[in-house]
Structure 1
């Protein structure tokens, strides 16, 4: 794995079985489901505090804004951490840890 995105993507879509990488999107689905429940609960709480029920456009904008903030933050932080996992070319393990 030579790019931060590949490291990040493979960390949520693959797992090791008897020493081989196999596709396993279960962690990705868990993250998406957790986000969906969290966003829905937050938007529902906000909509209940209004006098009038919001229209479908309000819900879609809310989901979009929530997704932008949550997944944008996750992607930025994940890329920073994944870039630290890229092996340095020509360096041994001791040099990488210093």
Structure 2
């Protein structure tokens, strides 16, 4: 099992629709990436007094290769085009985490 962590960063002026992200965007990602082994998605929303992370999305895949295949898929453009519907964050960070 491999987890892809996606972080959106911003400041107090950054738009971020938590409901849309956790429901609509995750459903879209699932429909685009299930065939590549995406099993689930979770949303976390940090609280900080200073600017920083607006959201942490944890996407669980059955394998690391599945993550790479999903991101290389033409369907990924649908997922990326949807980002504007929930945030205007300019910085998105991605990392992979896997059991060891």
| TM-score, reference length from structure 2 | 0.26
Q: Which has the larger radius of gyration?
A: 1
Report which of the two has the higher share of helix: 1
| TM-score, reference length from structure 1 | 0.26
Report which of the two has the higher share of strand: 2
**Greater relative contact order (Cα < 8 A, sep 6+):** 2
